[in-house]
Amino acid sequence: MKFNLRTRSIMALSVFCSTLSFATFAKDSEKPNFIIFYTDDLGYGDTSVPMMKDRPDLTKPLYKTPHLERLAQDGMRFSNAYSPAPTCTPSRISLQFGKTTAKTKVMNVHDVMAKKNGIDLKNHKGMAEFVKEADPNYVTAHFGKGMTIRRMDDIGYDITDNIDDIKEGNGNFHGDWLSIKNRKPIPDDDPKRVFSLTKSSVDFINTQAKANKPFFLMVSHYAVHVKHAALEETIKKYQIGDVDYKDARYAALIEHLDDSLGAMLKALDDNGIADNTYVIFTSDNGGGHGGNPSLQGGKAKMMEGGLRVPTVVRGPGIPADSQCDVPIVQYDFLATLHELSGNPNPLPDDIDGGSLVDVFRNGNEGKVERNTPFLVFHYPYYAGVPVSAIRMGDYKFMRQLNTGETRLHNVATDMGEEKNLINSMPEKAAEMDKLLKVYVAEVGAWDIDDVYAERLGELKKRLKPDSSDNTKVSSQIERTKANQANKKWL
């Protein structure tokens, strides 16, 4: 059973049609600009913008994000937007290359297995490369958290803050040090590098606007990943009533993040290019602090709390103050920028994502045409709960890979995943189970037994013979074996 629905003739037709309609999405013949504002571990309810307009209970009153509120008023919020994985590194690689995590075979930041047996990303184009292919005048930049495996200046980004002597990622990990090698700490007045990343981004916008150059900027914040840090004077604003210091600090960090967004929106306004710039605000995975209102689970879990993320998009042709309920996933962004940048070449057949241009234009009446006509989330992780999942229409099917136990939920009406429909809808469950199994097999995704075998084998190689200094490795081996016996979902 093959899922390669997009033939070359259909691709050629879609490129032709997008060229005809492009004028409605950008001013005259100008190439649009793109900004992806990528946050780290920001949960579905960790802003003051509910992703469902009629559900203010989906947010927490403590958090204040007025600049994101403005973005939502001017653009479209997505109630069913997903990260490709419940943790950062697999999501980031999936976003950059437009492929599911089952296909990239990356599960975590220290992924030795992916480096040995994953797809060779050197043979695959990244999102920035497709934008530059559309027009070599595009200037591309990436500031902030990288993705390991590949450096950002190796995949089409002209300007980065990569550290020169680091082979992978950008050498800064979670934004707690200036360099992961020497562990020199970030100054107290630049918590999680939020202000320096903002300055780099605003300077880039100003420079390209003055040069009249189209640009693609990805600012990948380290906030709000642990260790949480914020300016003390901002923290004090939130220490009211029974709010403890940790919650106040987290709220303050969210404010800093929102101020960063506001600074970039102001730069677009000041340069007169806001009307020709797409701004995408989202998070790399579900929240890791304090739970996610109305959702089960959080970061590193495959329930909705780990995958459903806040997402707001503003740009030419997008209706103001609108909401879209069509399920989307971040590996759709590559195909979206491919179309909006006017790239005349068809996408490779192995791209899983589809263009979101039709939903940008038509909201819930829009369609997303993907090579893989359902959303796949494959997470056979040796240090967490290993789960493989598929969302098709309103339904989400999951399999716990240690036990084989399955769940089926209508996440349109039961976003909290409280009612398991596996027994009441056996035909739907069987259909989705088969689709998931076939896809995972076709792309050669990691099997959980192979994952444990590889991980344990790699750890045992680190044991030093005749040495008492094996405590750390032995502990990792025991944790891996314990996880292999884990039968839980959360």
Q: What is the pLDDT of residues 365-400, one digit of tens each?
A: 999 999 989 999 999 988 889 999 999 999 999 999
Phi, psi of 352 (to 5 degrees): -85, -35
pLDDT digits (tens, 9 = 90+) for 257-304: 999 999 999 999 999 999 999 999 999 999 988 778 899 999 999 999
**Helix, strand and coil percent figures for the chain, each rounded to 5:** 40, 15, 50
pLDDT at 163: 63
Nearest CA-CA partner of 208 in 275, 130, 267, 146: 267
Q: What are the tokens at 244?
A: 């403890």
pTM comes to 0.92
CA separation for the pair 173, 52 (Å, rounded): 33
Per-residue pLDDT band for 179 (boundaries 50, 70, 90) equals low
Phi, psi of 417 (to 5 degrees): 50, 50
Domain 8-372 class? alpha beta
Q: Please count the other Cβ atoms lying within 10 Å of the Cβ belonging to residue 296.
A: 18
Judged on CB neighbours under 10 Å (0-12, 13-18, 19+), 240 is exposed
Q: Is the pLDDT of residue 98 over 90?
A: yes
Residue with tokens 């309103």: 394
Percent of the chain surpassing pLDDT 90: 74
Give the SS3 label for residue 244. coil
Most confident of 22-31, 105-114, 120-129, 432-441: 432-441
Phi-psi region of 119 (alpha: psi -120 to 50; beta: other; left: phi over 0): beta
Contact 382, 452 (CB under 8 A): yes
Q: Is the pLDDT of residue 15 over 50?
A: no
pLDDT at 10: 40
Q: What are the tokens at 247?
A: 């919650």
Per-residue pLDDT band for 178 (boundaries 50, 70, 90) equals low
Contact 125, 338 (CB under 8 A): no
Per-residue pLDDT band for 462 (boundaries 50, 70, 90) equals confident
pLDDT at 13: 42
Nearest CA-CA partner of 208 in 256, 141, 122: 141
CA separation for the pair 490, 486 (Å, rounded): 10
Contact 78, 324 (CB under 8 A): yes
Phi, psi of 307 (to 5 degrees): -115, -35
pLDDT at 182: 63
CA separation for the pair 478, 279 (Å, rounded): 45
Considering only 11-15, 31-35, 230-234, 290-294, which range has the smallest mean pLDDT? 11-15
CA angle 418, 419, 424 (to 5 degrees): 165
Judged on CB neighbours under 10 Å (0-12, 13-18, 19+), 362 is middle
Q: What are the tokens at 402?
A: 């240690």
CA separation for the pair 6, 462 (Å, rounded): 46
pLDDT at 161: 85
pLDDT at 293: 87
Strand 139-144, strand 215-220: pairing: parallel
Establish whether the linkage from the previous residue to 359 is cis, with ω within 30° of 0: no
pLDDT at 291: 74
CA separation for the pair 317, 355 (Å, rounded): 15
CA separation for the pair 59, 460 (Å, rounded): 45
Contact 101, 352 (CB under 8 A): no
Contact 390, 376 (CB under 8 A): yes
Considering only 10-14, 259-263, 341-345, 460-464, which range has the smallest mean pLDDT? 10-14
